[in-house]
Structure 1
Amino acid sequence: MSVDKPIIVTVDDDPGVSRAVARDLRRRYGQQYRIVRAEEALQGIDALREMRLRGDDVAAILADYRMPQLNGVQFLEQAMDLYPFARRVLLTAYADTDAAIQAINVVDLDHYLLKPWDPPEEKFYPVMDGQLDAWQRADRVEQAELRVVGDRWSAPSYQVRDFLARNHVPYRWMLAEDPEAAQLITAAGGPEVCRLPLVVTAGGDALQAPTQSTLATAVGLSTTPATDFYDLIVIGGGPAGLGAAVYGASEGLNTVLVEAHASGGQAGQSSRIENYLGFPDGVSGQQLADRARRQALKFGAELLTARKVTALEPHGQARVVSFKEGEQIAAHAVILATGVSYRRLDAPGLDDFVGRGVYYGAALTEAPSCQDSEVYIVGAANSAGQAAVYLSGFASTVHVLVRGDGLEKSMSAYLIEQIAEKPNIRVHYRSQVTGAEGDGHLERLRVEEDGKEYLADAQWLFVFIGAEPYTSWLDETVERDGKGFVLTGPDLVVGGRRPKQWPLRREPYFLETNVPGVFAAGDVRSDSIKRVASAVGEGAMAVALVHRYLEKQ
């Protein structure tokens, strides 16, 4: 690594503006940083590549939005690959504010500045001071590459890749027949012995067909609780759980969030959420989940991944949570935010191809593999619509199979409009999958449309039908409705009845279950509004009710 001063790079195709930006930067930061300017986008990319080869450290990159070769957003996208830790600032005129807002989501933009900014002491330097301070404080150690070797149509290989992707762990995927993959398999004992998928860590450890828990530990995810007693245990890492963790930790509660798979839940698999407040150009579920996860960690919440909860029991004033491995933790209060999962499609042959052409949910890791293929989607709600729009950017044709006569009752209007504008999306009404065929992976689907059945060549089926709550582990402890959703507050006292085993004189709080101190938030709750914003709001509300509960103890 070079011992030279870190670099601030500025790119603007207007020579006068370029010199003025560099002048302002040198005046304030010239003692601590080297200022490098470029007047063409491609020249700037070449300069960054040379810096990378020399081992120079780049602290910030400022790019003008209106440039002829690459606009500022496209430039910053390419710059991210070379310097992922550099702070990214877009320089824009007032008329391009919408583009700057879009860039916040596309390249995770750190800030945008309106030109001109005279005087810089008021409008430029305070922003740059904050960005450079954030760069100095950030952990900029790059992780070595994680490699995953497996078979193309292997369900366990898909599960490993999906787990890593949803937990934001970068990896390189290799098919077993690739030369480099063959070398890794040989080093692990040879094809006769080595069990796939094979995961080779940055340190060279080879994990053969690892469990999620083993994989989580190997890539540095937290799986072991720091203590055995907390103020608040949040079960489930979807929007409701993450919202509860952020508000619980930020308000001083010793909080732990337990997630069986990956933060984000079902919403974390959404390719783009466009009706969430504060993101006018949309945000991917992964981006939203990652930001919420980092926010929870910033406030001191503890996040446990790949830990499956199997029981919840009240012991006096404590609420005890048991894990699959037999370990237990306890807390004063618990928030259930386990969300829902997509129901299985009941058609002959489908279960044989789960993870091998049939996927429940968006399965975004598979999207690039759908290039120029025909893709089938079953579902009529927003999640199906989001997936159709996203996959249309890869597939030759996206077929959306809908049982009803239209989408208006179940899908947001903005998604219906987007689907109508995509020439390679075809919506089939009064349609359903009646069977699946293939040799080792999905190859054909039987589809019934308007009462007529036909056989369609298909290697990709994504299913988004209904929702099933993950609550069977609660047994008789927590009351649920006939579909398994958790009953809370007013739903527990319908007709003046008392909740089962309710020991207190007061009635349950709005999100409280029949067990005092145990609350439910988000999609797992009976009659909840199935939207990301409402789930986050319920997570925050549940924490407020936890405080009220603790004050009364």
Structure 2
Amino acid sequence: MSKPAILTVDDDPMVSAAITRDLRERYGKDYRVLGATSGAEALSVLDRLALRDQPVALIVTDQRMPVMTGIEFLERAQPQAPTAKQLLLTAYADTDAAIRAINDVGLDHYLLKPWDPPEERLYPVVDDLLEDWRRAHPSPTSDLRVVGHRWSESAHATKTFLARNHVPYRWVDIEEGEEGERLRQAAGASVEDLPLVLVPDGATLRCPSSMELADGLGLRTRAEQPLYDVCIVGGGPAGLASAVYAASEGLQTVIVEREAPGGQAGQSAAIENYLGFPRGLSGSDLTQRAVAQVVRFGAEMVVARDVTGLEQRGPVRAVLLDGQGEIEARSVIVTTGVSYRRLGAAEVDEFTGRGVYYGATASEAIQVAGEEVFLIGAANSAGQAALNLSRHAAHVTVLVRGSDIRSSMSQYLVDRILAAENITVRHRTEVVSARGDGHLESLTLRDRDSGEFEEVATSWLFVFIGAVPRTEWLGELVARDDKGFVLTGPEMLHAVDGAWTQPRGPFALETSLPGVFAAGDVRLDSMKRVASAVGEGAMAVHFVHRYLATI
């Protein structure tokens, strides 16, 4: 594949030459840097690149240009370079227009002119944008291949595990074309062995479990130290924040995640209300940045291991793992978050992984191109998923049990959903059953007010309802409410008589078992937002330090 392009646009020839020169010096080895001195010329360049099937990674344009402003150019350029990152060069007086462009044309970043010195003002911004683009467009030569059936629950689980662990792969459908069948026969595999995971320079994996996938890909699945200062259970935003702060402050830290880092937030197509990111960022991007920090500070990360129990061994807490193994630590932070609640209708759940999906990774939106999609849920996660799916689907119908989506979803999402031409919100509506031959083909809906039933044709249902905490493994040692949410601090004292037996009072995020803390969505009365989970994860480390000083 030819090198991806970086296109610069500025009507001043000297400025155009300068920005092109600076970008070429830094990125010319890996990118083809092209310059244009007008919006019209730049659109012609994009036409030529499209004809050559050459990808465009980044467009850098000045705002103040005659005939066509930078924002107007970016709007016209989107059909020709829909995946390109967009950087607007602007004067201070134009910052309001640049901020509006974040919503209007999906602007990724704006930069005040001049950009000198580029090492301080230009390159860090461009580095981030290009890194985001590379992650979304990995080199096909490095991809592993997954061979399987489109409507296979195990294939869906495999693809989800790879996507959430940021492992690039190429999907080969056994029923489309000859490649899939050829690869199956070459591997000497039966249909029951599907999906196959063909690892470059590695063994062929046959219908692998998450543990087998992780081992086959070289991911860490076992802890290395006999004793840690803190063991963090759960790799969502709260757990990752705890790991960053604990490891950076010198605590011997290990984090255990049963699936992949990021939790529910890691699956979000866009987190737009997180402080410091006016354009928003994807859950995948936030997770990758956080994992890089965790590794940088020396914390261990163990993936694909489910936690099955907790034991008190004097001053040590033992976290028991599925299969074999355990991790001993002087303190534990529980950040296991919540799972989406199942619909409970057998006729629906039998299609799980074959048309019915609980949650959705951002990458799954491409699979629904041109199709009718249904989605259940009224929280922010459902709203973000609906917007992401609507970029590819012919139509998205959001089913809401309540009478007003505004009561549970942030206003900025409500406004965008109601304005979208291919999204319909149906209130007071629920799914009662499903039909299909091998995969989902139709749903039966019920109007909760009239009681009337309606059958709709679809192969896609995404479910974002309820919040079920992952706390059964805590057993009798840690007090929880009747729904399984962990009680902490003063709330725990008021809720359960005799739950706390220490002479000192419990720390704010401490559970009924001294030295075990809880943060994020798993904790009773938590805010259920990414920012609050990150804050609680960091705060838990403060209390870990105070606890360790007492033993």
TM class by shorter chain equals: 0.7 to 0.9
C-alpha spacing 1:183/1:359, structure 2 compared with 1 (3 Å)? same
Q: Which residue of 1 aligns with 2:185?
A: 186
The separation in 2 between residues aligned to 1:156 and 1:513, in whole angstroms, is 37
Alpha-carbon distance, 1:127 to partner = 3.8
Question: Is 2:544 aligned against 1:546?
Answer: yes
Comparing 385-394 and 325-334, the one that deviates more: 385-394
The counterpart of 1:64, out of the listed 33, 52, 61, is 61
The separation in 1 between residues aligned to 2:101 and 2:290, in whole angstroms, is 19
The separation in 2 between residues aligned to 1:63 and 1:90, in whole angstroms, is 6
Per-residue CA deviations over 1:325-347 (Å, capped at 9, x if unaligned) read 21111111110000000111022
Per-residue CA deviations over 1:439-459 (Å, capped at 9, x if unaligned) read 111111111113101211121
1:343-422 to 2 correspondences below 5 Å: 343-422=341-420
Comparing 376-385 and 539-548, the one that deviates more: 376-385
The counterpart of 1:283, out of the listed 271, 281, 284, is 281
Comparing 327-336 and 95-104, the one that deviates more: 95-104
Q: Aligned AA for 2:442? A: R
Contact 2:239-2:335 at 8 Å conserved across structures: yes
C-alpha spacing 1:327/1:112, structure 2 compared with 1 (3 Å)? same
Question: Is 2:154 aligned against 1:156?
Answer: yes
Per-residue CA deviations over 1:68-126 (Å, capped at 9, x if unaligned) read 8768996997678xxxxxxx97644442687589889x9997x8643234xx4xx4344
C-alpha spacing 1:67/1:529, structure 2 compared with 1 (3 Å)? closer
Alpha-carbon distance, 1:388 to partner = 1.7
Contact 1:228-1:328 at 8 Å conserved across structures: no
C-alpha spacing 1:159/1:34, structure 2 compared with 1 (3 Å)? closer
The separation in 1 between residues aligned to 2:258 and 2:112, in whole angstroms, is 44
The separation in 2 between residues aligned to 1:443 and 1:99, in whole angstroms, is 44
The separation in 2 between residues aligned to 1:172 and 1:33, in whole angstroms, is 23
Q: Which residue of 2 aligns with 1:124?
A: 118
Q: Which residue of 2 aligns with 1:83?
A: none
Q: Aligned AA for 1:180? A: E
The counterpart of 1:234, out of the listed 232, 235, 240, is 232
Question: Is 2:474 aligned against 1:474?
Answer: yes
Contact 2:261-2:287 at 8 Å conserved across structures: yes
Contact 1:238-1:266 at 8 Å conserved across structures: yes
Q: Which runs of 5+ in 1 are unaligned?
A: 1-5, 54-59, 81-87
Per-residue CA deviations over 1:241-264 (Å, capped at 9, x if unaligned) read 111111111211111111001111
Comparing 491-500 and 89-98, the one that deviates more: 89-98
Contact 2:87-2:107 at 8 Å conserved across structures: no
C-alpha spacing 1:7/1:203, structure 2 compared with 1 (3 Å)? closer
Contact 1:146-1:201 at 8 Å conserved across structures: yes
Q: How many residues align?
A: 527
Q: Aligned AA for 1:477? A: L
The separation in 1 between residues aligned to 2:233 and 2:381, in whole angstroms, is 23
1:113-512 to 2 correspondences below 5 Å: 113-117=111-115, 120=116, 123-127=117-121, 144-177=142-175, 178-190=177-189, 192=190, 195-203=193-201, 205-449=203-447, 450-494=450-494, 497-499=497-499, 502=501, 504-512=502-510
Contact 2:362-2:388 at 8 Å conserved across structures: no
SS in 1 for 2:162: helix
The separation in 1 between residues aligned to 2:107 and 2:210, in whole angstroms, is 29
SS in 2 for 1:159: helix
SS in 2 for 1:223: coil
Q: Aligned AA for 1:524? A: V
Per-residue CA deviations over 1:362-419 (Å, capped at 9, x if unaligned) read 3434322222222111222222222222222222222222222212322222222112
Q: Which residue of 2 aligns with 1:12?
A: 9
The separation in 2 between residues aligned to 1:133 and 1:276, in whole angstroms, is 21
SS in 2 for 1:426: strand
The separation in 2 between residues aligned to 1:314 and 1:352, in whole angstroms, is 39
Alpha-carbon distance, 1:323 to partner = 0.8
Q: Aligned AA for 2:396? A: V
Contact 1:235-1:257 at 8 Å conserved across structures: yes
Alpha-carbon distance, 1:211 to partner = 0.9
The separation in 1 between residues aligned to 2:544 and 2:402, in whole angstroms, is 42
The separation in 2 between residues aligned to 1:102 and 1:273, in whole angstroms, is 17
Alpha-carbon distance, 1:24 to partner = 6.7
The separation in 2 between residues aligned to 1:20 and 1:333, in whole angstroms, is 55
SS in 1 for 2:350: helix
The separation in 2 between residues aligned to 1:375 and 1:97, in whole angstroms, is 36
Q: Aligned AA for 2:225? A: T
Per-residue CA deviations over 1:205-246 (Å, capped at 9, x if unaligned) read 311101111111222322122212111111001111111111
C-alpha spacing 1:552/1:197, structure 2 compared with 1 (3 Å)? same
SS in 2 for 1:552: coil
Alpha-carbon distance, 1:47 to partner = 9.1
Alpha-carbon distance, 1:275 to partner = 1.9
Give the structure-1-normalised TM-score.
Answer: 0.84
SS in 1 for 2:514: coil
The separation in 1 between residues aligned to 2:5 and 2:346, in whole angstroms, is 60
Contact 2:246-2:541 at 8 Å conserved across structures: yes
C-alpha spacing 1:20/1:181, structure 2 compared with 1 (3 Å)? same
Contact 1:240-1:521 at 8 Å conserved across structures: yes
Q: Which runs of 5+ in 2 are unaligned?
A: 63-69
The separation in 2 between residues aligned to 1:532 and 1:168, in whole angstroms, is 20
C-alpha spacing 1:414/1:207, structure 2 compared with 1 (3 Å)? same
C-alpha spacing 1:535/1:101, structure 2 compared with 1 (3 Å)? farther
Contact 1:161-1:365 at 8 Å conserved across structures: no
Contact 2:340-2:468 at 8 Å conserved across structures: yes
SS in 1 for 2:171: strand
Q: Aligned AA for 1:485? A: F
Alpha-carbon distance, 1:427 to partner = 1.7
Q: Aligned AA for 2:266? A: G
Q: Which residue of 2 aligns with 1:38?
A: 35
Contact 1:45-1:79 at 8 Å conserved across structures: no
The separation in 2 between residues aligned to 1:515 and 1:64, in whole angstroms, is 57
Alpha-carbon distance, 1:468 to partner = 0.7
Give the structure-2-normalised TM-score.
Answer: 0.84
Q: Which residue of 2 aligns with 1:84?
A: none
Q: Aligned AA for 2:456? A: A
Q: Aligned AA for 1:189? A: G
Percent sequence identity over matched residues?
A: 49
Contact 1:234-1:335 at 8 Å conserved across structures: yes
C-alpha spacing 1:193/1:446, structure 2 compared with 1 (3 Å)? closer
SS in 2 for 1:229: coil
SS in 2 for 1:398: strand
